[in-house]
Structure 1
Amino acid sequence: MGDCRYCEQTFSEEGTLREHLYETHGREELSRIDRKRVEQYVDEHGLDESDINADTDGSQSNQREHQTVDTSNGGDQADRWERSDVEALSTDDIVDKLTNHGIKTNEMAFRNRAKNLNSATTLSEQWEADYEVAATGSDQDFIWMAAQELWKRWASEVPNKERIYDFVQEGRDLRENGDRAEACDRWLTAWEYILAVIPDDSTTIEAADQTTPTFLSLEAFIRSLDSDLATVAEDDPTYYEHRLDFCGEVCESFPDADDELLLDFRHFVADSLNELNRTADSRTEFELLIEEYPEDPWAYKKLADSYWLGESDELSVETVERTADLYRAALDIDKPLEGASLVANRLEEIERRLTGAKRADHHGAEKS
């Protein structure tokens, strides 16, 4: 059930409230939260975004949603709040301004609320409901910004959705400045927050996406983070450990994700194990992939590579035979294999070695 604070109507479902706000009230009178409700309604019904406001598309709107109030309505500049304004206030000043809106809070009371929530916006909505606050527009924007800032000061160890944006954006800025390792560190922190705020029953990327901030495309984020971790690890192998942990968590967190994503991240796990010289563990992972995805040629190819590429010791006949069988399996699968000619060349080399190994065994047997 939801209430329209502008005309005091009550709606039994959130979707009905969104439709009412879209059809009845102008954007200029809506608070940030209600503007977001309208944007969600537009997205859900495939409407033209220009119907609500041209500044709602692209990264600028996402940044505005999390960083500043939409001031396009031409209101008085003095009444507009930006997050930097709230950040500049002392804690006492923030509390005093909340008190002026009828909201009473202190550190203990705030922490008691925050420990059961995962969103500063939700906390601000609780305040408004509990204290019957009638704030709209920039006044309401101050309230949610104050909740966000107090969360950072009073309950920083409790993850919330809004902080995800901060960490993602900090990572983007660091990457643009050439510090990709630090960028990965920020994004890994964002990932920890994502895991903390999504429901336990979100076993697919799509389900989890419904509960993460709207600026974030979860699959795009995790694929990009994996790519950057792999790049950074080439110069700093400690990041293979980070990549291993991250990719393992993706697979564990979304066991019902589509096969393409799971297969990719299972490969990344095996690749990371190999780079960490945990060869036996890497081979075990590839064996499991072959068992679970028998039509995936890459698992056969990579497992075969692990048996002889870079190996300085003399290979047994059994090992060479196993390697040849794996290369043949990779080539026999009716599925495109990029670099198939390379695999064929390696198979030829292995078969030559196999012939040589068998001859050596035969000569040895004759001598004995």
Structure 2
Amino acid sequence: MIQRMWSIDKVKKMSTSEIIEKLQSMNVDFEIERFKKQAQNHISAIQLAEDHYYTQDFHAPGLDEDFIWLAMIELWNRIIPEKYNLEMIDDLMQEGYEDIDKQNYGGGLEKWEKTWDMIISIVPPHIKSVTEADKFIPDLTQSIFNWCQDFEIELGSTGMKDKSFYAKRIKYCQDFRRRFPKSDKSILENMLRAEAESYTELGDMEAAKKLLQEID
């Protein structure tokens, strides 16, 4: 009998008790309360698995070894969904790209608003540039540096069809400049221009003019 590889979709179909029982059958010592405490010191379920579970004397015949890190991702999503991690950010960011590729702009941008909230919630306050944020949250499919600009562009494009997105764009640009004021000058100036453009589209020429004066 050929053993099939584990995937996150297969793990998602299992109940929490089934996942834990599978881990225990592999001689992985797992307890929910201990897992919660371990997660407090991590921003990645995969790294948590590497630090606390792949270091155990587990038994993983065939392709079962991958089950451990997949289980940690899924258990984190179920047990402590309010504590955001790298994998959650990456999944939501990529789902947003997929929606936008399918021209579901509203759905994609809603996911990206949540992505932004996740990013700023786990990046420590002392990190003031998007480049440093990328170093803190490494290994994303798309860098925050690139994604943050894609987000601004898509908010602007969607604003041409629905002006409420210009207001969202203004807020995002303001939040970005406030949160990452030490980012590359080019990004900060692009955010200023985008904010000014959005005010112009909403008819607030005075606010737009004031912002443009901030650009050297």
TM-score scaled by structure 1?
0.53
Alignment check: 8 A CA contact 1:273 1:282 kept = yes
1: distance between equivalents of 2:190 and 2:2? 50
Alignment check: 8 A CA contact 2:93 2:112 kept = yes
Confirm whether residue 221 of structure 1 aligns to residue 139 of structure 2. no
Alignment check: 8 A CA contact 2:90 2:140 kept = no
Aligned position for 1:105: 31
- Output the amino acid matched with 1:81: W
Residue 265 of structure 1: how far off its partner (Å): 0.9
Alignment check: 8 A CA contact 1:162 1:213 kept = no
Residue 279 of structure 1: how far off its partner (Å): 3.8
Q: CA RMSD in A?
A: 2.4
Residue 237 of structure 1: how far off its partner (Å): 1.4
Aligned position for 2:45: 120
Aligned position for 1:132: 56
2: distance between equivalents of 1:214 and 1:135? 30
- Output the amino acid matched with 1:120: A
Bigger relative contact order (CA 8 A; separation at least 6) = 2
Alignment check: 8 A CA contact 2:3 2:63 kept = no
Confirm whether residue 180 of structure 1 aligns to residue 105 of structure 2. yes
Residue 168 of structure 1, aligned match among 93, 96, 100: 93
- Output the amino acid matched with 1:273: Y
1: distance between equivalents of 2:132 and 2:59? 33
- In structure 2, the CA distance between the partners of 1:110 and 1:128, relative to structure 1 (3 Å rule), is closer
Q: Secondary structure at the match of 1:142?
A: helix
2: distance between equivalents of 1:113 and 1:262? 37
Alignment check: 8 A CA contact 1:194 1:212 kept = no
- In structure 2, the CA distance between the partners of 1:212 and 1:187, relative to structure 1 (3 Å rule), is farther
Structure 1 spans left out of the alignment, 5+ residues: 1-75, 294-368
Q: Secondary structure at the match of 2:53?
A: helix
- In structure 2, the CA distance between the partners of 1:77 and 1:204, relative to structure 1 (3 Å rule), is farther
2: distance between equivalents of 1:278 and 1:91? 53
Residue 165 of structure 1: how far off its partner (Å): 2.1
Aligned position for 1:234: 160
Confirm whether residue 196 of structure 1 aligns to residue 127 of structure 2. no
What is the number of equivalent residue pairs in this alignment?
213
Residue 175 of structure 2, aligned match among 245, 249, 254: 249
Residue 159 of structure 1, aligned match among 76, 84, 95: 84
Aligned position for 1:259: 185
- In structure 2, the CA distance between the partners of 1:171 and 1:231, relative to structure 1 (3 Å rule), is same
2: distance between equivalents of 1:194 and 1:174? 20
Alignment check: 8 A CA contact 1:244 1:268 kept = yes
Q: Secondary structure at the match of 1:288?
A: coil
- Output the amino acid matched with 2:192: R
- In structure 2, the CA distance between the partners of 1:150 and 1:279, relative to structure 1 (3 Å rule), is same
Residue 90 of structure 1: how far off its partner (Å): 0.8
* Alignment map for 1:26-37 (pairs within 5 Å): none
2: distance between equivalents of 1:133 and 1:216? 34
Q: Secondary structure at the match of 2:3?
A: helix
* Alignment map for 1:259-298 (pairs within 5 Å): 259-289=185-215, 293=216
- What is the identity percentage for the equivalent residue pairs of Structure 1 and Structure 2? 25
Larger radius of gyration: 1
2: distance between equivalents of 1:170 and 1:102? 32
TM-score scaled by structure 2?
0.86
Alignment check: 8 A CA contact 1:184 1:229 kept = yes
Alignment check: 8 A CA contact 2:170 2:194 kept = yes
Structure 2 spans left out of the alignment, 5+ residues: none
- Output the amino acid matched with 1:263: E
Aligned position for 1:13: none
CA offsets 1:60-116 (integer angstroms, 9 cap, x no match): xxxxxxxxxxxxxxxx8515211111111111000111222332212x443333344
Alignment check: 8 A CA contact 2:93 2:115 kept = yes
Alignment check: 8 A CA contact 1:164 1:193 kept = yes
Aligned position for 2:21: 96
1: distance between equivalents of 2:130 and 2:196? 21
